[in-house]
């Protein structure tokens, strides 16, 4: 058994930001299933929103975010996000983040969708990478104990509070029990439940599913963001920075079709609006090839592209054989971000005492029904820091009881699933089930949804759960058992898929990224509330309504 005062699960921006908040000498451990610097945060390109410029304001940022959220975001949390943003950006600068600069030497800021001001601080188009590496170096210097390639398997609760974690060490193939005074889940999103996604392979929603199984409340799982511009075919992200820095979207006739859907904001309307517009163009026969649209950067010129968008240019070249200064890039929308997650308050506390959550795995509801570009990276560092601070207060409490009953139960679950002699009823494959799940989610729980298709998705996902339960399981007692990891991750994803489809089927209105063809209007009288989900005694999800926090802004029609 291992002891640490503070345990952080997840080595992305959220986990590392929380870790570096602790003064040197604090006993902090960071567990990560992939090496921290490979965390998905490192793929983020566009930037971190913060109202830094003299003629911008926190109030503008709050309003843009509330409107972007289609009034479902909690305004108290949004105020926290926006008001702490500038200070956190400056702190990152002091830590050594190489922000791109204005000629006067200030952090440069670019436009991203749904913002009324160029507000995203960036490092060319490798913003996530630059900050992740800076924070990682800081964490090493501060003596944070890092456990790479350790997988959280289960949370151990004793007397109703978190008492420890059951973790699988990939290298040795052994289970370890980690006791702690307080733990933070910073395990990222679950985009991999969709076949077409910009998310990396590790984004399987482990922390969200594990917390739910342990009794934590989840919220707003129906709200899934589809990014308008991913490379056609591979779904590699082409950052919103490409449109922020002047790129155009054109249909087969070469027309800038966004004039039809968002005449004021054009290409820089929020992502839900742009994704729907692209699909509408394709549906109406104005797409190219078998269903794509062009992102045109040719008018920007090679110099500007190489200076501001080097990664975009390289990705287009490597994966679509396109020189973006000469030829438009073929793009299509794909899943990008999970707005839903573990319900937390502004101090990142979940409904389980002793357990915090932050970043994409959590839902503090700063994004509501639709996230604005640049607000997620800001969320990781603002709420990562808040989680770190809260843990420093909580760590003064006595050590929770030693996990006994919970540990016995967790070990017997493990033995039943992965132990030597565990049942082997079916030769079905993890990959076949995973492929079917991704297809169902992309085809029936995507940008345009209907009650009929969502119901079908729920029924088909139930069949997949039965196939999963009968699956041949890989014994867990040898090192680098990747098959076992694939098996566990699929279990998490099936659970999250079911809740995403279930919550989407229940919400009979359209709001933000959740668009129901059969209920195309927003319906505030009936639906201006969060969807809360908890696990019933029979293991099935129970859906309830949760109140939205309002401070300054009352709902208005959302036009761009």
Ligand X SMILES: Cc1cc2nc3c(=O)[nH]c(=O)nc-3n(C[C@H](O)[C@H](O)[C@H](O)COP(=O)(O)OP(=O)(O)OC[C@H]3O[C@@H](n4cnc5c(N)ncnc54)[C@H](O)[C@@H]3O)c2cc1C
- Smallest distance from the beta carbon of 278 to ligand X, in angstroms? 18
Binding mask 105-134 toward ligand X (x if CB under 6 A, else -) reads ----------------------xx------
Extract the tokens encoding 328: 């438009």
Minimum CB distance to ligand X smaller for 29 or for 163 = 29
Q: At 138, which helix (H) or strand (E)? A: helix 127-141
Burial of 553 (0-12, 13-18, 19+ CB in 10 A): middle
Minimum CB distance to ligand X smaller for 11 or for 400 = 11
From candidates 4, 33, 133, 179, binder to ligand X by CB under 6 A: 33
- Smallest distance from the beta carbon of 210 to ligand X, in angstroms? 7
Of 237, 147, 200, 196, which Cα lies nearest the Cα of 39?
A: 200
The residue from 192, 243, 271, 346 that is catalytic is 271
Tell me how long the chain is.
560
From candidates 5, 8, 45, 70, binder to ligand X by CB under 6 A: 45
* Number of separate helices (H) and strands (E) present in the chain: 16, 21
What is the rounded end-to-end Cα distance, in angstroms, of the chain? 56
Question: What angle is formed at CA 123 by the lines to CA 120 and CA 128, rounded to 5 degrees?
Answer: 85
Extract the tokens encoding 154: 């289960």
From candidates 377, 410, 441, 496, binder to ligand X by CB under 6 A: 377
Of 405, 518, 511, which Cα lies nearest the Cα of 452?
A: 518
Residue 482: phi and psi, rounded to 5, are -65, -30
| Options 185-193, 311-319, 464-472, 523-531: segment touching ligand X (CB under 6 A) | 185-193
Extract the tokens encoding 153: 């398997």
Residue nearest ligand X by beta-carbon distance: 12
Minimum CB distance to ligand X smaller for 71 or for 337 = 337
From candidates 151, 181, 250, 511, binder to ligand X by CB under 6 A: 151
Of 346, 363, 494, which Cα lies nearest the Cα of 430?
A: 494
Residue 164 sits in the site that holds ligand X (CB under 6 A): no
Of 427, 486, 456, which Cα lies nearest the Cα of 192?
A: 486
Binding mask 226-265 toward ligand X (x if CB under 6 A, else -) reads -----------x----------------------------
- Smallest distance from the beta carbon of 292 to ligand X, in angstroms? 19
Catalytic residue check, 106: no
| Options 66-74, 79-87, 354-362, 456-464: segment touching ligand X (CB under 6 A) | 354-362
Distance, in Å, from the CA atom of 340 to the CA atom of 189, rounded to the nearest integer, reads 9
Of 204, 72, 113, which Cα lies nearest the Cα of 560?
A: 113
Minimum CB distance to ligand X smaller for 12 or for 474 = 12
Of 70, 184, 175, 48, which Cα lies nearest the Cα of 121?
A: 48
Minimum CB distance to ligand X smaller for 107 or for 287 = 107
Extract the tokens encoding 379: 């969320």
Per DSSP bridges, beta strands 145-148 and 28-32 are parallel
- Smallest distance from the beta carbon of 41 to ligand X, in angstroms? 3
- Smallest distance from the beta carbon of 537 to ligand X, in angstroms? 25
Minimum CB distance to ligand X smaller for 74 or for 206 = 206
Task: Give, to the nearest 10 degrees, the angle between helix 375-394 and helix 75-95.
Answer: 90
Positions 186 through 215 that interact with ligand X (CB under 6 A): 186-189, 198-199, 202, 206-207
From candidates 4, 19, 20, 32, binder to ligand X by CB under 6 A: 32
| Site residues for ligand X per CB under 6 A | 9-15, 31-34, 36, 39-41, 43-47, 127-128, 151-152, 186-189, 198-199, 202, 206-207, 237, 336-337, 359-361, 373-377, 380
Catalytic residues: 271
């Amino acid at each position: 058994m291992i002891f640490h005062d503070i345990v952080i699960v997840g080595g992305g921006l959220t986990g590392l930001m929380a870790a570096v908040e602790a003064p040197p000498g604090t006993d902090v451990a960071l567990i990560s299933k992939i090496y921290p610097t490979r965390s998905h945060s490192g793929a983020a390109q566009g930037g971190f929103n913060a109202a830094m410029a003299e003629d911008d304001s926190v109030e503008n940022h709050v309003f843009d975010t509330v409107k972007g959220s289609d009034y479902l975001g909690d305004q108290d949390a949004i105020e926290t996000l926006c008001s702490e943003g500038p200070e956190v950006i400056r702190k990152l600068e002091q830590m050594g983040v190489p922000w791109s600069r204005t000629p006067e030497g200030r952090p440069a800021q670019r436009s991203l969708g749904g913002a009324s001001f160029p507000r995203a601080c960036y490092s060319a188009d490798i913003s996530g990478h630059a900050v992740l590496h800076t924070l990682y170096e800081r964490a090493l210097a501060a003596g944070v104990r890092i456990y790479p390639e350790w997988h959280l398997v289960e949370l151990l609760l004793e007397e109703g509070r978190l008492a420890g974690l059951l973790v699988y060490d990939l290298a040795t193939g052994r289970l370890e029990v980690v006791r702690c005074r307080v733990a933070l889940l910073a395990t990222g999103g679950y985009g991999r439940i969709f076949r077409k996604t910009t998310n990396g392979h590790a984004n399987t929603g482990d922390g969200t599913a594990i917390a739910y199984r342990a009794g934590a409340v989840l919220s707003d799982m129906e709200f899934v963001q589809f990014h308008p511009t991913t490379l056609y075919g591979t779904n590699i992200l082409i950052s919103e920075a490409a449109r922020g820095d002047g790129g155009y979207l054109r249909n087969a006739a070469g027309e800038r079709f966004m004039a039809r859907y968002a005449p004021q904001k054009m290409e820089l309307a929020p992502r839900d609006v742009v994704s729907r517009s692209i699909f509408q163009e394709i549906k109406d026969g104005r797409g190219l090839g078998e269903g794509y649209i062009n992102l045109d950067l040719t008018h920007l010129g090679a110099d500007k592209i190489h200076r501001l968008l080097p990664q975009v240019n390289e990705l287009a070249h490597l994966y679509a054989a396109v020189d973006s200064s000469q030829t438009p890039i073929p793009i299509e929308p794909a899943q990008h971000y999970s707005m839903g997650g573990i319900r937390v308050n502004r101090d990142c506390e979940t409904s389980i005492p002793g357990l915090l959550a932050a970043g994409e795995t959590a839902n503090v509801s700063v994004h509501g029904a639709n996230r604005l570009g640049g607000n997620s990276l800001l969320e990781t560092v603002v709420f990562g820091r808040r989680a770190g601070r809260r843990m420093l207060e909580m760590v003064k409490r006595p050590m929770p009881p030693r996990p006994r009953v919970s540990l016995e139960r967790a070990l017997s679950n493990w033995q039943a699933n992965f132990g030597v002699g565990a049942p082997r009823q079916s030769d079905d494959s993890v990959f076949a089930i995973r492929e079917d799940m991704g297809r169902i989610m992309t085809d029936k729980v995507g940008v345009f949804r209907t009650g009929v298709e969502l119901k079908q998705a729920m029924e088909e996902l139930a069949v997949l759960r039965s196939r999963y339960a009968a699956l041949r399981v890989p014994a867990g007692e040898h090192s680098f058992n990747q098959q076992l990891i694939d098996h566990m991750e699929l279990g998490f994803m099936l659970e999250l898929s079911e809740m995403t489809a279930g919550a989407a089927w229940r919400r009979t209105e359209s709001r933000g990224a959740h668009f129901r063809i059969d209920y195309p209007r927003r319906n505030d009288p009936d639906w201006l509330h969060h969807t809360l989900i908890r696990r019933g005694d029979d293991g099935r999800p129970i859906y309830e309504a949760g109140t939205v926090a309002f401070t300054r802004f009352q709902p208005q029609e959302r036009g761009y």
